[in-house]
Structures are given as structure tokens and as C-alpha cells.
Amino acid sequence: MSNLTTQVIIAVVIHAVISALHGLAHLLIPVPISVPQAIFIGGVITVLPIIAALLIWRQRVKWALTVLLLSMTGSLLFGLYNHFVVISPDHISQLPPTPLGVLFQITAILLAVSEGIGIGVSLWGLKTR
């Protein structure tokens, strides 16, 4: 397994774990999401990174990096807008200072970091190919 393959898979796994914890906080607080948001979260934030990992595993490197780049960019923009820009129940400032509220806030920040890393890995991989 190449270094790039390892980096992509690690980035996808870390993002999936953080996403799962963030989704759990969403459910337990609860912080509602709309149907269009749920579709975006399911497709772009959850499924596309897994597809990218499968593609890199199958040595479809350019496709994998492109899918990961698009997914992580869409995820980052979605998260920045919903967690840090628009004031709504999904904004990190609107959560109660409870353990679940803190989990939500921390995972929102970690999602942005992990998505930035995914973008960086994708761009680095595409540039060095």
C-alpha cells in the first residue's frame, strides 16, 4: 500500500469517526436537520469519502482524489456555513454548555480540521501525480 493510499484511508476513517460522534450529538441534543440537509450529509459527507477510500484501494488514484476533494470541500463549506455562520440551532454558539453541547461544538471544529486535511491530502496527491 502506497503512502498516498494510507493517507487517504486514514483521512477518511478519522473524518468518519468525527462525523459519527457529531451525528450522535445531533440526535441526542437534539439539533434538527432538514430533509435536504440529511440528503447532503448522507451523500456528500458520509458516502463520497467511503467511495474515495474504495477507489484509492482499487488504485483508481485520480478518481479517488477527485472524489475526496469534492466531498471534503463540500463538507467543509456546509459545516462552516451551518456551524459558524448562520445563526440557527446548528450554530455552535446555540448549544447548551452540557457535555453533549460541548461534544457537538468540539466535533464541529474537528470536522472542519479533518475536512481541511482531506482537502490537503487530495490536492497534494493530485499535484504529485
Assign residue 28 the CATH number of its domain.
Answer: 1.20.1270
Range of the domain at 112: 3-128
Predicted pLDDT of residue 85? 98
Note whether 27 and 71 are within 8 A (CB): no
pLDDT, block means (10 residues), the chain with 129 residues: 93 98 97 97 98 97 98 98 97 96 98 98 95
Q: What is the domain count for the chain? A: 1
Instruction: Give first-to-last CA distance, the chain, whole Å.
Output: 16
Predicted pLDDT of residue 57? 96
Note whether 117 and 11 are within 8 A (CB): yes
Helices (H) and strands (E) in the chain, counts: 5, 0
Q: Based on the number of CB atoms within 10 Å of its own CB, is 68 exposed (0-12), middle (13-18) or buried (19 or more)?
A: buried
Predicted pLDDT of residue 58? 96
Predicted pLDDT of residue 129? 80
